[in-house]
């Protein structure tokens, strides 16, 4: 942080210019970057004084404190009666709230199936999203990794709780990346979500933060003991409280009990649906939003884009004085060309453009690059003399520097996301009393500033995509408690209803800021009492057969001229699933 004091040449008698020198501060303080140690103050002829601010910088160490005291000596050599003044400086280190979380990853056999993204299995996407999650942790956050299929025991703990550490060299991050590999998550067996939750909860017990969460990924229905209900009772008994965030990867249905375990622990349940077209980066987006929710941060932006060779494109992100830090994130599809020919730059609201090399010299900014993603991490302010530089429209510039001869590999598929540590947040949920086809949903958004409800700029809209891809836009209205609501009743189809909302609000200082939220509504036929494991095994095998058929179409039915294959433009896994859903009135 930077704080200034002011040196003044006050008019008295015959005014004259003075020369000032500033000694290096003590007690762990420094002068701000670029701050001169000597300067002159002109004579105050027509004004009562001339003045200049001196900025003192303080960076909290990893340990020690929390209170730090130092001094700065300001001298004037040509004044023998008062040659120096000592300025006392004090800082109190307040670390950002620590978050402890465990990634609980499904490695059942169906995770080896096609994801909807060309050339990627569901396990590939799970690993990509998990790596992004680990990369975006704060240095003092702790993380663990647990896997599960039809069981999850001591041998399935891939990483016990460990602090993330530095984004580039942190041991915790490196260990987490080493744990999240296809070798460690080899897809085989059936699905016991309850076992994964219980094992993950046990690992999370070793955390040290008050904010704790399980991020549970699954692509299948629970079909092995222990039950999800047993997992729920295990998590609910823990102190400090453990929140469960559940993600259904590619599912058309999600266990109602998994939705319940998220609800009763103040978490969320989400479903990606088939990850095709604009949903290609949806899993990464959900993991960024989950991390934002766990840390009480704000999710700001998430557009998906394509850049042809030579294109240079900007994504605008609106921030205000309520935001104290931000991550500007770019996730992209790796090819033989990218990231080699990918260039990302950041433009501040005042027009200053920063490259990855520029931020290397800035104490409050850094650039991090990992396979499949990169981001600028910015703590405000970056410059002492420009404390409001971050307020306004930022631009994330993405440039495709590939040449045309790379053809398809040279087309850049990417998504820009941003999350902010902020006092202006957007909560939200889809409220449902029942999950049967035809049951109504209510879309709810809860914007707050400094913990109190805040009005949103009109119109306040949410976009709903039905399981068959039909989209509808709803207008939400404010209630007496400051929440925004809208009913949604077109719920005749079983499957996920993907809800997204991008809203804007005006801060007390008059800045327009944006916030984004993704939510999921769930409609499915509830399992009948008495259905047991063999039925679930058949469902699991049916899903695996669908995955195999989709992969067969993808690999064997190419026409040799186009990519994706012409046949797959009309026949894909989603169409097969929809047709089978129409013909089967149960929950396969």
| CA torsion through residues 448, 449, 453, 458, sign | negative
Q: How far apart are CA 582 and CA 588, in angstroms?
A: 11
Nearby residues of 570 by Cβ (< 8 Å), 6 or more positions away: none
For residue 514, name the pLDDT band (cuts at 50, 70, 90).
Answer: very high
Q: Quote the pLDDT of residue 569.
A: 43
Q: What are phi and psi of 209, to 5 degrees?
A: -90, 160
Alpha helices per DSSP H over 62-170:
122-135
On whether the CB atoms of residues 326 and 378 are closer than 8 A, the answer is yes
On whether the CB atoms of residues 525 and 531 are closer than 8 A, the answer is no
Only one residue has tokens 């085989």, namely 188
Q: Quote the pLDDT of residue 583.
A: 52
- pLDDT of 572 > 60? The answer is no
| CA torsion through residues 223, 228, 229, 230, sign | positive
Q: What are 145-189's pLDDT values in tens digits?
A: 999 999 999 999 999 999 999 998 999 999 999 999 999 999 999
| CA torsion through residues 366, 342, 122, 429, sign | positive
Q: What are 340-352's pLDDT values in tens digits?
A: 999 999 999 999 9
Mean pLDDT (whole number) for 499-519: 93
Q: Quote the pLDDT of residue 570.
A: 45
Q: How far apart are CA 218 and CA 221, in angstroms?
A: 8
Does the pTM surpass 0.95? The reply is: no
Q: Quote the pLDDT of residue 2.
A: 85
Helix (H, G, I), strand (E, B) or coil at 166: coil
Q: What are 434-452's pLDDT values in tens digits?
A: 888 999 999 999 999 988 9
Q: What are phi and psi of 201, to 5 degrees?
A: -65, -40
């Amino acid at each position: 942080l930077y704080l200034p004091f002011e040196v003044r040449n006050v008019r008295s008698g015959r005014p004259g210019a003075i020369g000032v020198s500033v000694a290096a501060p003590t007690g762990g303080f420094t002068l701000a970057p670029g701050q001169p140690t000597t300067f002159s103050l002109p004579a105050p002829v027509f004004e009562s004084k001339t003045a200049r601010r001196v900025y003192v910088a303080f960076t909290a160490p990893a340990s020690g404190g929390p209170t730090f005291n130092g001094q700065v000596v300001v001298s004037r050599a040509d004044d023998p009666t008062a040659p120096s003044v000592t300025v006392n400086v004090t800082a109190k280190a307040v670390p950002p709230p620590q978050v402890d979380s465990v990634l609980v990853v499904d490695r059942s056999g169906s995770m080896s199936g096609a994801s909807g993204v060309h050339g990627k299995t569901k396990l590939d996407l799970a690993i990509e999203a998990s790596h992004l999650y680990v990369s975006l942790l704060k240095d003092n956050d702790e993380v663990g990794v647990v896997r599960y299929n039809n069981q999850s025991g001591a041998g399935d703990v891939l990483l016990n709780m460990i602090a993330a550490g530095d984004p580039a060299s942190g041991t915790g991050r490196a260990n987490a990346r080493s744990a999240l590999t296809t070798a460690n998550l080899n897809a085989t067996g059936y699905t016991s979500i309850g076992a994964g939750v219980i094992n993950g909860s046990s690992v999370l017990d070793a955390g040290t933060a008050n904010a704790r969460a399980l991020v549970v990924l699954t692509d299948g229905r629970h079909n092995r003991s222990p039950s999800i209900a047993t997992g729920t009772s295990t998590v609910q008994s823990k102190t400090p409280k453990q929140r469960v965030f559940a993600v259904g990867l590619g599912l058309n249905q999600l266990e109602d009990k998994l939705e319940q375990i998220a609800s009763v622990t103040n978490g969320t349940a989400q479903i990606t649906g088939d990850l095709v077209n604009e949903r290609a980066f949806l899993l990464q987006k959900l993991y960024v939003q989950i991390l934002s929710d766990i840390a009480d941060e704000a999710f700001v932006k998430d557009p998906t884009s394509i850049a042809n060779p030579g294109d240079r494109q900007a994504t605008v992100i609106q921030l205000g004085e309520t935001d104290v830090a931000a991550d500007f994130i770019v996730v992209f599809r790796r090819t033989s060309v990218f990231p080699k020919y990918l260039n990302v730059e950041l433009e501040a609201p005042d027009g200053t453009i920063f490259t990855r090399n520029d931020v290397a010299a800035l104490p409050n900014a850094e650039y991090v690059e990992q396979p499949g993603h990169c981001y600028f991490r910015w703590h405000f302010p970056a410059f002492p003399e420009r404390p409001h530089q971050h307020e306004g429209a930022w631009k994330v510039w993405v440039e495709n520097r590939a040449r045309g001869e790379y053809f398809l590999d040279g087309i850049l598929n990417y998504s820009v996301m941003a999350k902010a540590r902020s006092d202006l947040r957007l909560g939200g949920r889809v409220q449902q009393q029942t999950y049967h086809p035809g049951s109504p949903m209510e879309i709810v958004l809860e914007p707050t500033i400094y913990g109190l409800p805040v009005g949103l700029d009109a119109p306040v809209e949410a976009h709903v995509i039905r399981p068959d891809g039909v989209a509808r836009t709803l207008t939400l209205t404010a209630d007496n408690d400051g929440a925004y609501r809208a009913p949604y009743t077109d719920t005749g189809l079983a499957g996920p209803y993907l809800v997204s909302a991008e809203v804007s609000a005006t801060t007390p200082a008059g800045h327009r800021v944006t916030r984004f939220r993704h939510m999921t509504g769930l409609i499915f036929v509830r399992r009948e009492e008495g259905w047991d494991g063999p039925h679930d095994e058949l469902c699991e095998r049916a899903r695996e057969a669908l995955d195999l058929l989709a992969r067969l179409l993808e690999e064997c039915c190419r026409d040799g001229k186009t990519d994706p294959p012409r046949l797959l433009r009309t026949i894909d896994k989603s169409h097969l699933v929809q047709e089978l859903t129409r013909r089967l009135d149960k929950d396969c």
